[in-house]
Structure 1
Amino acid sequence: MLRHEFRPGRAVAGLTMLALAAGYAADAAGKWEAPWTFFLPLFFGGLWLSAAATWLGYLVRRRRAAKKASAENTAAPASTSGSHAIR
């Protein structure tokens, strides 16, 4: 069992920030010559992808929870079992 649930949006955002940091480090070291405007689409594209991954992860978790809840609620409700008087 996992200790925490997987958050794909955070993973995508982290990978995007690592790519940006590597690009800036390569540019600062003189290994790669890139204008600063190159990094803006990478940054905003990574944010958009992380938002989309977060939304899809949310939908998957919600669907799993609904499916699990419907599977657990197959028994008759307590009020129809005769344990309580119905008025």
Structure 2
Amino acid sequence: MLRHEFQPGRLVAGACLLTAGVLFAGDAAGVWRVPRLALVPLVVGGLFLAGAVGMVAGSVRRRRRAARRDAPPTRIRT
């Protein structure tokens, strides 16, 4: 299996959209009442938060990559 980078922005976006979907499904099933306009700030706020988290994670990833590139090579003792 190929390894991939962890992307926390996608995790946050997925969690917010999943929450909105569960609320919408519960409202459609009649389990509880959720105002339709309450879902809009949840989705928009979740996408904004996901973008901010993605930008922070990208800058951290770039800094670590640059620090690793500038670090002196380590010697392996055998």
Bin for the TM-score computed over the shorter chain: 0.7 to 0.9
Q: What corresponds to 2:23 in structure 1?
A: 23
Structure 2: stretches of 5+ with no match in the other structure: 74-78
User: CA offset at residue 32 of structure 1?
Assistant: 1.0
- Whichever residue aligns with residue 35 of structure 2, its letter is P
TM-score normalised by structure 2 residue count: 0.87
Q: Percent identity?
A: 46
Name structure 1 gaps, 5 residues minimum: 74-87
Bigger Rg, which one: 1
Provide the rounded CA distance (Å) in 2 between the counterparts of 1:52 and 1:72: 32
User: In the alignment, residue 3 of structure 1 is paired with which amino acid?
Assistant: R
Matched pairs, number: 72
CA RMSD of aligned residues (A): 1.4
C-alpha distance in 2 between matches for 1:5 and 1:58? 11
4+ residue segments displaced more than 3 Å: none
Larger relative CO (CA 8 A, sep 6+): 1 or 2?
A: 2
